Amino acid sequence: MKLEENPQEYADVRLQVPSEFQQRSGLCLLRSGMSRTKPHYEIGPRKLIHYSLHFVIKGTLELQDENSTYLLEAGTMFCLFPDITYRYKKASDKPLELCWLLLDGFLVRPALSMLGIQEHKPFAVQPWGQQMKLLHERIHHTVGKDSPLLQQSLLYELLQLLQTTQESGAGREPSAWLEYCALYMQLHYSEPLRVEALAVEAGVHRSYFSAAFRKHFGQSPKQYLTSIRMKKALELLESPGLPIQEIALTVGYPDLFMFTRAFTSYFGEAPTEYRKRGTRSGEPD
């Protein structure tokens, strides 16, 4: 691959205007590049209007935003977020090699969050192996070509590879996987969820999962799940034509008996009594 010389580096930079399909997809590529920097390489201060995802392949880079300074070694990825002033420079005598993707769209921020990258922590460990190198090169070669479907599929393949090579749940910020598991329960409360399976989903041991969850939310995972189910049950009980057995199955209980026992324990009265009374019960003290 031929690198062209400019005042700061030797680089191969490719630009494109995304197709309408790509722009509507929520995540599209505007520019791809790779470079071997010169000894006095320094960029900024400057702001971008898009997301620039960089990979440090060799060497050390010093990144400075409006609040902090970070020293990023080879095997690190970082993102320059829109509307934040950055400057970065070569930070050692070793050769510095970078590659990058300039991205746009409403899905970019949540995708970066999945990789552990946010404005207050704009970097994450990311080993640059052969698979990553080849995938970036394939994306790079699609820039400016009439191959939007191929390029989109490669972008998502790259994001999937980045996600699977990140640290396990035990190494991430606890709040990240705790919030994820809470949302998981909110979406799938009607399924037969078990604490062991939730711990596996988070990537941590069950005992650590339960203790961290209780500390973060003030209740155990089982209590949290029960509260979701009970709130939904109250909503469904407002529909007089809906059989209570159907409500039981809808909110995740295998039969009427288990639902009635759980409801009575939570609210102090059976679902049939609640429905007859015709008023909404409050949360237990």
Residue 51 lies in a domain: yes
Statement to judge: residues 32 and 158 lie in one domain: yes
- Tell whether 8 and 130 lie within a shared domain: yes
- Residue 37 placed within a domain: yes
User: Is 242 part of any domain?
Assistant: yes
178 and 158 co-located in one domain: no
What does the pLDDT look like over 160-217, one tens digit per residue? 988 876 644 444 556 777 888 898 899 999 998 888 888 877 777 788 889 999 999 9
Supply the pLDDT for residue 131: 86
The most distant pair of C-alpha atoms in the chain lies apart, rounded to whole Å, by 80
Same domain as 186, residue 46 = no
Residues 17, 157: one domain? yes
For residue 181, the enclosing domain spans 171-218
- What is the token pair recorded at 240? 């007089």
In a domain, 284, yes or no: no
Would the pLDDT of 133 be above 80?
A: yes
The reply to whether 203 falls in a domain is yes
Return the CATH number at 19. Answer: 2.60.120.280
Q: Is residue 283 part of a domain?
A: no
> What pLDDT is attached to residue 196?
84
Looking at the fold, whether 209 and 252 belong to one and the same domain comes out as no
Among 131, 147, 166, the domain-final residue is 166
56 and 187 housed in the same domain: no
CATH code for position 267 = 1.10.10.60
Co-location of 202 and 126 in the same domain: no
Same domain, 132 and 33: yes
User: Do residues 182 and 196 both lie within one domain?
Assistant: yes
**Residues 45 and 88 reside in one and the same domain:** yes
Q: Omega before 240 cis (within 30°)?
A: no
Mean pLDDT over each residue of the chain, to the nearest integer: 90
Same domain, 133 and 228: no
Backbone angles phi, psi at 134, to 5 degrees: -65, -40
Residues 6+ positions from 8 with CB-CB distance below 8 Å: 37, 38, 41, 42, 43
Question: For 204-260, how does the pLDDT look when each residue is reduced to its tens digit (9 = 90+)?
Answer: 778 888 999 999 999 999 999 999 999 999 999 998 889 999 999 999 999 999 999
Question: pLDDT tens, 77-117?
Answer: 999 999 999 999 999 999 999 999 999 999 999 999 989 89
Q: What is the mean pLDDT of residues 122-147?
A: 90
- Asked whether residue 282 is domain-assigned, the answer is no
What secondary structure does DSSP assign to 192-207, as a single string? Answer: ---HHHHHHHHTS-HH
* Domains: count for the chain: 3
> Does residue 83 belong to any structural domain of this protein?
yes
Burial of 34 (0-12, 13-18, 19+ CB in 10 A): buried
